[in-house]
Copies of this chain bind each other. A is one copy, B any other.
């Protein structure tokens, strides 16, 4: 007697793969095919069926199939071809060949898997039905198990973008994302963390972490590499130390030094997030609920208890609208509460650059200048504000005194000392100083072509120029600013300098200045009206 299953989930497949349950009880009809091996790696478990074979078995591109040869079984995704393979053949690449221990011409049994249950839930989301905790967990599980195609994942992200997640769903999504990866458990009562909503420069993290760690609190900070900026925090930290650790190494470092700045992508925290970001990126899709869940899951994955969220807003920042910044802040706080995290949000000026540099090495120098006692005032100030509030939240400072305490930790040299401990623990050179960091030797200075007051310094454009010069791949590439918003400059004075590690990249960066105007000088005459 066949038990016809209508939907498969990761659980079904796992039971089958692990041998707990045989596929025959599912009432599926096996298709017998001869393996045709292509000895190259395709990067994923894809098999190629002849279009006719597929059509006559209701198999479409991206269908999921179970493959069995003897005792070996795997799940794979189908691609179609009318000429690479004959109707009785199945094309397999190296990954599938290895998993099933195949030789050319071996017989394989193929079972067409029913649609994953997740697809029904994705459809429910489209139809504006609230998803339960379990349904969201199933979607995330199926995503991790590779049971959902790009088409289905994109439909999910688009639906979540249009319908959004309510608070309950956002909490469920956060939990599901956490469960998809590893978790760092320091077994401490208080663990601090900080997050900045992307898109602007400013290496606050590399100053804030040593302040907090020097105060005795734990701050296991994971950072990203550049996505659209000239340098992610991880790219900048990498100028000084390793940033790529597994979770055990990360734990050892934090337990030793109280703080660390490592690359989040090197660990398996909130693993499903990358799979969703891959889908969201081509569409520039930032579903509100996913943004919240994704950030909160990263904090929850390191068991953070107190978190400060930096929301830069203004022209050129990710969030250009004050009311959106405010409502986002409230969302974080409210949902954080349901996840047992105490959250505070600070809405900060995101339209002007913080610090004077773009590019990994140049930004690292900026950071060291502050810790060494002679750096950018705005960068120091912002770091102390954020660190100060975290110290107050954790009870390490009375309300209103956090800033002062943070500043004292810098001024006393304790933050620099702690930073060097961290660099040491992360395998870098603890004797490093700001003047020892190599920067791109090919340089070009841009001078003011008239006198005037600086009315706008465009973060994004500078990031693009730094990238054209080779950042973040070339650590020494980037831009150093000589002026900031409000400064008066005279014709012929230097406005900024481009650094590059190669002449051709410098040339390319210079070329971009034909179209990109990163600095605006105030116009006296806004517009001229003429009589007829």
Segment among A7-15, A106-114, A159-167, A324-332 that sits at the interface with chain B: A159-167
Check: A150 CB closer than 8 A to any chain B CB. Answer: yes
A278 touches B60 (CB 8 A): yes
In the complex, per-residue mask of A53-79: 1 if CB is within 8 Å of any chain B CB, else 0: 001101011110000000000000001
- Which of B41, B58, B126, B149 contacts A81 (CB under 8 A)? B41
Chain B min CB distance to A291 (Å) = 15
A227 closest partner in B (C-beta): B58
A152 CA to B282 CA, complexed, in Å: 7
Chain B min CB distance to A312 (Å) = 22
Check: A482 CB closer than 8 A to any chain B CB. Answer: no
A155 CA to B2 CA, complexed, in Å: 37
A5 CA to B225 CA, complexed, in Å: 27
A56 closest partner in B (C-beta): B473
Chain B min CB distance to A137 (Å) = 20
A515 CA to B225 CA, complexed, in Å: 54
A248 CA to B472 CA, complexed, in Å: 57
Q: How many copies does the complex hold?
A: 2
Check: A154 CB closer than 8 A to any chain B CB. Answer: yes
Check: A281 CB closer than 8 A to any chain B CB. Answer: yes
- Which of B4, B52, B155 contacts A154 (CB under 8 A)? B155
Chain B min CB distance to A118 (Å) = 11
Check: A80 CB closer than 8 A to any chain B CB. Answer: yes
- Which of B119, B150, B225, B508 contacts A151 (CB under 8 A)? B150
Check: A323 CB closer than 8 A to any chain B CB. Answer: no
- Which of B80, B149, B278 contacts A282 (CB under 8 A)? B149
Within 8 A of B (CB), among A181-228: 225, 228
Within 8 A of B (CB), among A24-69: 27, 29, 38, 40-41, 43, 52, 55-56, 58, 60-63
Classify chain A's interface size. 35 or more
A515 touches B4 (CB 8 A): yes
A123 touches B284 (CB 8 A): yes
Chain B min CB distance to A87 (Å) = 10
A476 CA to B201 CA, complexed, in Å: 69
A471 closest partner in B (C-beta): B56
Tell whether A122 pairs with B2 under 8 Å between CB atoms, given A40-B40, A473-B56.
no
Check: A532 CB closer than 8 A to any chain B CB. Answer: no
In the complex, per-residue mask of A264-296: 1 if CB is within 8 Å of any chain B CB, else 0: 000000000000001101111100000000000
A38 closest partner in B (C-beta): B40
Check: A1 CB closer than 8 A to any chain B CB. Answer: yes
Chain B residue numbers with a CB within 8 Å of A281 are 60
B152 touches A151 (CB 8 A): no
A467 closest partner in B (C-beta): B58
Chain B residue numbers with a CB within 8 Å of A29 are 468, 508
A153 CA to B61 CA, complexed, in Å: 15
- Which of B126, B225, B282 contacts A60 (CB under 8 A)? B282
Chain B min CB distance to A180 (Å) = 20
Chain B residue numbers with a CB within 8 Å of A58 are 228, 467
Chain B min CB distance to A84 (Å) = 6
Chain B residue numbers with a CB within 8 Å of A122 are 283
A122 CA to B40 CA, complexed, in Å: 36
B285 touches A155 (CB 8 A): yes
- Which of B80, B115, B283 contacts A123 (CB under 8 A)? B283
Chain B min CB distance to A120 (Å) = 9
Check: A527 CB closer than 8 A to any chain B CB. Answer: no
B152 touches A283 (CB 8 A): yes
In the complex, per-residue mask of A132-169: 1 if CB is within 8 Å of any chain B CB, else 0: 00000000000000000111111101110111000000
B43 touches A515 (CB 8 A): no
Chain B residue numbers with a CB within 8 Å of A2 are 511-512, 514-515
Check: A435 CB closer than 8 A to any chain B CB. Answer: no
Chain B min CB distance to A89 (Å) = 14
A84 CA to B81 CA, complexed, in Å: 22
Chain B min CB distance to A172 (Å) = 21
Q: Sample 15 A-B pairs with CB under 8 A, ordered by A number.
A: A2-B511, A2-B514, A29-B468, A41-B83, A41-B84, A56-B472, A60-B282, A122-B283, A123-B283, A126-B161, A151-B279, A152-B283, A155-B157, A155-B158, A162-B163
Give 5 new A-B contacts, CB below 8 A, not counting A29-B508, A43-B80, A55-B225: A4-B515, A40-B40, A43-B84, A126-B158, A149-B282
Q: Which 3 A-B pairs have the closest CB atoms?
A: A154-B154, A56-B473, A158-B158
